[in-house]
Amino acid sequence: MSVSDPSLDLRQWVREVPDFPKPGILFRDLTPLMRDPRGWQEAVRRLGQRCEQRQPDLIVGIESRGFIVGMALATALRLPFAPVRKPGKLPGQVHGVDYSLEYGQDRLEIHADGFEDQPRVLIVDDLLATGGTAAACAQLVEMAGGTLAGFSFVVELSALNGRDKLPENVPADALIVY
């Protein structure tokens, strides 16, 4: 990894897309950050610093952009990675949880194996908005036998109060807060 630059403002690589995916929504697009090696390496480095404070044994990434962030972080820290996916995407036995979104219902699943030794798990995603998906993921980790070490996000939309849905006693942080 390149030499870190704590003075870099990661926001410079976050594109704002108005009215996406529907009118009235201001979408925070992280693909420019992912395309820039310097910015992306700095983001992963900063997440890694925060991750080390949580001392996880395993990184869990939420479909789909959480796979990108979580796998990069797990690789950088030489930790195992486990995906949380939408229904029917994981082979073998899974645990599943249904949860509410602001516009309906959804479901997430995680492999039932791989958590036998009660690993400390850091849940990683690109963005924390309303918190429903991250909270559902936390339920899955506990159902599978993991212990929540924390949550890490690249971006948090604080006006949507997503942290309110996360377990109170579990630390959560984001590199960029809007």
Tell me, what CATH number does 130's domain have? Answer: 3.40.50.2020
Q: DSSP secondary-structure letter at 178?
A: -
Q: 22: which 2 tokens?
A: 């529907």
Question: Is pLDDT of 138 > 70?
Answer: yes
Q: What is the pTM of this model?
A: 0.94
State the total domains in the chain.
1
Residue 2 domain flag = no
Residue 26 domain flag = no
- Closest of 60, 73, 81 to residue 137, by C-alpha: 60
Cβ burial, residue 30 (10 Å; 0-12/13-18/19+): buried
- Closest of 23, 79, 55, 43 to residue 155, by C-alpha: 43
Residue 141 domain flag = yes
Supply the pLDDT for residue 1. 44
Q: Which helix (H) or strand (E) holds 136?
A: helix 132-144
Domain around 130: 55-177
| Mean pLDDT, residues 36-60 | 96
Residue 159 domain flag = yes
Question: Is pLDDT of 148 > 90?
Answer: yes
